[in-house]
Amino acid sequence: MIQGMPSGILRAYTGVSFGAALILRWLLLKRIMNTSALIEKAEKQFFAEYALVLSAGMFTFFLIHFFFSIPFASGGLFFIGFVAFGFFIAIDMSLEKEREVIKSVLAQPDLLVSPQKFYPMTRKFFFVAVVTNLMVMVIIILIIGRDLAWLTEIDTTRMNLMREITAKTVFKEISFAVAVLLFLIINILYSYSKNLKLLFNMQTRVLESVSNGDLSRLVPVATSDEFGMIATHTNKMILGLRDRIRMLTRLNVAKEIQANLLPSHAPDVSGMDISGICRYCEEVGGDYYDYFKFSENRVGIAVTDSSDHGVGAGLHMTTIRAFLLYGAADYKGASPLIGSVNRHLTRDSFENGHFTTVFFADIDLEHRKITWIRAGHEPALFYSPAGGGFTRLLGSGMALGVDPEAKIDEYEICGWTKGSILAIVSDGLKESRNPAGEMYGEQRIQTLIARHSDQPARIIQKKLMEDLDGFIKKVPISDDITIVIVKLL
């Protein structure tokens, strides 16, 4: 109540001001909300509501000052009440609008625009808490100040008679004001907690789906605070996982295709037992081996190792395979075949720097002769059970894909005893390391082949892989591994 003015008239003027503000509010908010981005609506709602309440308070103040000549000091205190309670009204309406926004994005989960501005939740909460405390203090000070002014106007002779009535009146006013303020504060906290619950539920539902393997859902971005940033980064994570799964799916398809490019079985040749295997350090790799049956008594075996590993090396491997198959269809000897492959590879890979090492063996059972070409590859091992010794099939030769005119030299070995073994491996086998960093090495290969030389080729190849696994333990291999064992019967 303002001194010198009936409370009914004051309420009437206040009602007129708020009525005008409500009409203006309907027009103003409709325009603001229609032109605002979804994520900015709660913020715009706060400023619009607060401005309307302050405008209503200012309009009421000028009315009572003009018609009732209320002093500016008294009217100013009345306006401060609008400032305080208007803040609580604006905050509550803003939180309600934020709740509407959150619910609307839940119904439209494709609203994934990242917030352009970042307003930390801690800063907003600190601002609201500080301003709330200030408003509470202002309102209590206004009440106490008004009561003190009233007490100073009471005649001292009447003081004792009115003391009890005054104390009760002041207590009731302060209690009522505190109760109203407490209600407003609790209402804001309750409204804020409902918004937090919606945001947490929105985030956790999507994360639960992700943990269950469902990447079809994204988190709608509803606020410009930490929840909005978390939603943005969560969506980036989900999209990244989608891309990775898509890539892994394609790599698995590529792995299956590459596995089908390797020979499914050894050629059926009397007097020869062959077994081969490739193990890639990634889903696909650059190692390759193949068999070429030129006649009933003549077989070619190629083992290649492309530079690097992974998808690029896997694509390079398919090119080498195509050139080998094309050349082997009109086979005129080891040197012409590998020379032709080298010229084609150099043309295709000279610019990108890829190259391939090759060991090619032409085994002629009729003449008991092995002709080989070593183009930068690991030397093959030839084991003779008669003497129990190994011969390293060396030879000069540049890796393929470097020089189209590179000289391709042939080497040969004639005659062998029954049970002799030819082992062609890639360098990934002997260069594999155990947890201590020690390499598997060629000596272990020779020892194991000699120990199991009386076994079929498949068993020797299997024992090599088992021994390697026991050596490296759980250390992942860092290069592709290829083993081809040929046992001459």
How far, in Å, CA of 144 to CA of 141, rounded? 5
pLDDT of residue 379: 95
- pTM, entire model: 0.63
pLDDT at 60: 76
Residue 294: pLDDT band with limits 50, 70, 90: very high
Q: For residue range 355-378, list pLDDT tens digits in order.
A: 899 999 999 999 999 999 999 999
Look at residues 403, 306, 407 and name the one whose alpha carbon lies nearest to residue 354: 306
C-beta atoms surrounding 372 within 10 Å: 26
Task: Please say if the pLDDT value at position 352 is more than 80.
Answer: no
The pLDDT, as a whole number, for residue 432 is 93
Tokens of 182: 């407490």
Listed range (118-127, 160-169, 249-258, 302-311) with the worst mean pLDDT = 160-169
Which tens digit of pLDDT belongs to each residue from 82-141? 787 888 888 888 888 888 888 877 776 655 566 667 777 778 778 878 887 887 777 777
CA 114 to CA 130: how far, in whole Å?
Answer: 29
Q: What domains can you pick out in the chain, each with its CATH number?
A: 7-229 (no CATH), 267-488 (3.60.40.10)
pLDDT > 70 in the chain, percent: 85
- Would you state the structure tokens that stand for residue 388, as one six-digit string? 């129990």
pLDDT in tens, 233-254: 888 888 888 888 888 888 788 7
Neighbour tally for 164: CB within 10 Å: 9
Q: Is the C-alpha dihedral spanning 487, 465, 281, 431 positive or negative?
A: negative
8 Å CB contact between 357 and 395: no
